[in-house]
Amino acid sequence: MFDQFKNLGQLAGMLKNAGRIREQLQQAQEHLKSVRVNAETGGGAVKATATGALRLHALEIDPAMFAALVDAGRDEDRRMAEDLIVGAVNAALEKAQRLAADEMSRRAREMGLPVDPGGDLSGLLGE
């Protein structure tokens, strides 16, 4: 029964600090826009860079390695190249998503907000 009162106290504290919490989350969002994560596939043939805000920032294809791997006239080579690109982009976005969730959880804990250790706070990005 008294646990419910404890939760009400936490809620009241959060409401009291709503402006500060909103400001901290906005700062985290801005920070994540500038953070970059990298991933690659095909032994470096394709490299993708994403932001912590889950946006693709850059895609790099090694021309020499790609030319050795892919004959543009062959459908199977083209599909392999497309798979490498998709794989690198998805790997970079997965890294960015983990980074964003970790950053938002860290900021929430710093503000004293109750955070489930396995909880996904990436939805707080608002993007």
Residue 46 included in any domain: yes
Give the Cα separation of 117 and 109 in Å (integer).
10
pLDDT digits (tens, 9 = 90+) for 81-116: 889 999 999 999 999 999 988 888 888 888 777 666
Domains held by the chain: number: 1
Residue 127 included in any domain: no
Its domain, for residue 85, covers 2-114
Q: What number is the average pLDDT over the span 32-50?
A: 91
Phi, psi of 37 (to 5 degrees): -125, 150
Residue 119 included in any domain: no
Residue 121 included in any domain: no
In percent, how much of the chain has pLDDT > 70?
Answer: 76
For residue 110, what is the domain's CATH number? 3.30.1310.10
Q: What number is the average pLDDT over the span 65-88?
A: 85
Residue 126 included in any domain: no
Q: What number is the average pLDDT over the span 14-20?
A: 70
> Given this model, what pLDDT does residue 12 score?
63
16 vs 111 pLDDT, higher one = 111
Which run of H or E residues covers position 61? strand 56-61
